[in-house]
Amino acid sequence: MSSSSEDNGGGARRDYDAPSSSRQRRSDNRVWPEPFVEALATNVAIDASQTQGRLAAAQVLFNVFQVCSTWRAVSNSDLLWQNLTRRIWHCNNLRHNTWHEEYVYHHRLARNFHARRYLYNTLHLGPADDNNNNESLVCRRLTISDYYLAAGFSDGTVRLFHLPNMLYLSTFRPQNRNRLGHFSPAVSGIILTETQIVFASLDGDIHVAMTDSAIPPRRAHLGDVVNDGALVDFNGCTQWWVGLYAGVPGRAFHVWNGVTEELVFIGGTLTDHEAVRGWHLLTELTELIGRVRLTSRELAVACTSLRFIVFDLRDQVIVLGEEEFPGRLMVGAFDARHEEFVIVDRRGSASVRRVGTLEEVCRFDVRGASQRGVLGCTNGGYALMCVGGLIRAWEIEHGEHLYSLVERIGEATALVADERYLVACSSDNTIHLWDFGVQ
């Protein structure tokens, strides 16, 4: 360490340190203790992910850890990586040995999605039963968890697949009862975890089954289609189940406590203008009437062709915001994940909005959507849109078009994505699987 003295003109000497890098680091270490550095690293990484994109957080963290050895030591904090994984990747479940490994895993998945790096395969349906053949089925819903894929069909059955092995596991069938309309048992939504599957039908029945059990599904809720209308979409999580109905005014939303299975709310007018079409769904599978999605904040977003609405499930279903679209929206392109949702109007103009504020994040154009229709989904970082059998990808931070998938699938009837997988079912009931988890 070097030092020098200076006479300030009054005879007093002032000692000061030259700007030595080693002394500067020691000074910084006293002023910036490890908890503070950890908080700083968290804040700058989250800020980078929100302004530049989630992939940018890694480079920012690398720069922080290069300042000095003490700052580099913060990179060994498992709590740091746990917070970053939850805030940036919205992942609360540890599937690897450490949270650092979990963060790296999700970063690699997002990088693969951005670079169109994947493995493509198709899945085969299980055997047909005595009353149905697979050719007459229409796949209406797809849902994925970490290890499972569930496909819901027009006959009310749900087929379960094991994703890592791409194997068919079992078929769940609803309990028999008198039905109002040929398609009343058609699956209108699925909630899937690693242990449980909850699926709903157009007539309002909700069934629950265990993913690893041969016990037939039990009916958790008996639908009342005459008084409630058709259950056109169903979504949720372990804590909440949300049903979107059409057919009876003032009863658009039904909300259940997912733990107790108690119905806690009925109300809403979102689908009042779609009442007639709701009844028609029981006898004829027409275009999608509406969709409802839950986000990571326990907020729900629902959409019809005329408007969307955002409401809070935690406080007596209070409406937080809504917007009408006289030019109409394409319901099949609507999806929400984490903090954002995507809507597409009849001209093919897509808008990415923040769930909490309805603020527009970016816009992009979906070419061909206005002529041929579109089916879409999002995984939290990317929007996937299928038009005319071709699936294209956009990043939803700035609206940049990234690529088109090589594989054409024909007319799609269902589409879903998470951080690792993209799954689509075509009209010939081929299930197409893109795995972005490659090394």
pLDDT in tens, 150-193: 999 999 999 999 999 999 999 999 998 877 888 999 999 999 99
Provide the pLDDT for residue 181: 82
pLDDT at position 263? 96
The answer to whether 202 and 188 are in contact (CB under 8 A) is yes
> What number is the average pLDDT over the span 1-12?
39
Closest CA to 142 of 402, 353, 375, 339: 375
Q: Which pLDDT score is estimated for 135? A: 59
**Residue type, position 4, single letter:** S
Which residue has better confidence, 9 or 292? 292
- What ranges make up the beta strands (E) of 268-420? 291-294, 299-303, 307-312, 318-324, 335-337, 340-344, 349-354, 360-365, 375-378, 382-387, 390-395, 401-404, 412-417
Q: What are phi and psi of 436, to 5 degrees?
A: -95, 15
Whether residue 126 is predicted with pLDDT greater than 80 in this model: the reply is no
| The predicted structure's pLDDT at residue 76 | 77
Q: Which two tokens stand for residue 240?
A: 């909440």
Nearest to 438 by CA among 122, 165, 117: 117
What is the average per-residue pLDDT within 125-143?
Answer: 72
- Mean predicted lDDT score pLDDT of the chain: 87
Neighbour count for residue 14 (Cβ, 10 Å)? 9
- What does residue 354 show for φ and ψ, rounded to 5 degrees? -85, 135
Closest CA to 137 of 84, 103, 173: 173
pLDDT at position 169 is: 94
Predicted local confidence at residue 176, as pLDDT: 86
pLDDT at 50: 86
Per the CB < 8 A criterion, the answer to whether 375 and 412 are in contact is yes
277-287 exposure pattern, b = at least 16 Cβ within 10 A, e = fewer: bbbbbbeebee
User: Which residues share a beta bridge with 318?
Assistant: 312
Q: C-alpha 260: how far from its chain's center? A: 24
How many angstroms separate the Cα of 282 from the Cα of each of 45, 203, 276? 50, 8, 11
Q: Which of 2-11, 295-304, 358-367, 368-377 has the highest mean pLDDT?
A: 358-367
Q: Are 382 and 340 in contact (CB under 8 A)?
A: no
| Model confidence, pTM | 0.87
The winner for highest mean pLDDT among 21-30, 145-154, 307-316 is 145-154
